[in-house]
Amino acid sequence: MKFIKYLTFLTLLFLIGSALFFGTKDSKFDVSETKIINAPAEVIYNQIKDFKNWQNWGPWIQIDSNIQISQSEKSEGTGATYSWKSKHEALGNVSIETKKVIPLKEIYQEISIETLLGDSKSEVYWRLEETETKGQTKVVWGIKGDPPFLEKILMSFSAPNIVARVGILFPKGLSNLDEVVIEKINAFVINVDGVTEYNGGFYLYTASASKIADIGLKMGSLFEEVSDFMTKNNLQITGMPFTIYNDIDTMNASAIYSTCIPIENKVTTPIGSTILCGYMPQTVALKTTLKGNYTRLETAYNKANEYMRTNNLQRHPRAKMFEVYRNDPNLTANPADWLTEIYIPIVPLSNIKN
């Protein structure tokens, strides 16, 4: 009888001691992974905000080909849910619900991981931060939580199976995300639209010269000069900006060019101004459209020139080739969506002698 009392007393001491130990033990956790991705935040944000896109880069699909994935009809924003069921020990049964979104910057989600004690809930967070390099984004993907008493006990014996179950996915997930995003921003389409007429008209411009490889770097500030002049003088833009290539030195890979913005009527600019007014007559030209980064322009020109050779088109001896930019790269985050029309003036077919 004394033995039973003694055993009961020891058991009670053990339970009290365990309660004190686990009750005071700090089991808060915050596990995260960081990756620098060479893409604008908006392109990355569009991939992670919408659960429909998670199938493009989610590492859990690679771990378990038999995983069962489901998501709510609402796939993005507060209240959207995503879940999976897996017999793989590294995955288990998990559900995620988006709780808060700060567009282009942060996403907060609640994750429920099925355990022996029921669902263990934690917070998953995403952060997108600009770096000093333009077009580059720091991406942080993490999970944090402060589990209740019973979960503390379970986590003390099986932490890798609960916390690390999700955290272990982060490095591979961000690596997959990087690949998907880079593939999307590098996508491009070139289409030779054929011979067309460009109406032309008056335009304001500023001229410059540089290596062909540097034109893209200089173009933004040059267009800004013309735009500022128009704003100060209350002049209205009547079309999309374009660049005229006045002279190209293929030997030195350099060019003299004009960055232009269309206007309605002729304007006399002040003497000594770097902003001048020009006029483009109606022009017959071969039109080629590039949807993609400006770095693909050389490929587009090669395709246009090949078309001209194949179809016996002759370049106009005096008219200059030009490019029209159908959207603003500052407002269109994904370079794959930039639209450029290339016009190579030709001798009208009716003027070509057989």
Are 163 and 147 in contact, with CB atoms under 8 Å apart?
no
CA angle 285, 265, 284 (to 5 degrees): 10
Confidence of residue 10 (pLDDT cuts 50, 70, 90): very low
| Model confidence, pTM | 0.81
List the domains of the chain with CATH numbers.
26-186 (3.30.530.20), 189-351 (3.20.80.10)
C-alpha closest to that of 185 among 327, 46, 340, 7: 46
Give the residue with greater pLDDT, 154 vs 293. 293
pLDDT one-digit tens code per residue, 127-162: 999 999 988 999 999 998 875 544 444 444 444 445
Q: Which amino acid is at 227?
A: S
CB atoms within 10 A of CB 250: 8
Among 127-131, 187-191, 347-351, whose mean pLDDT is lowest?
A: 347-351
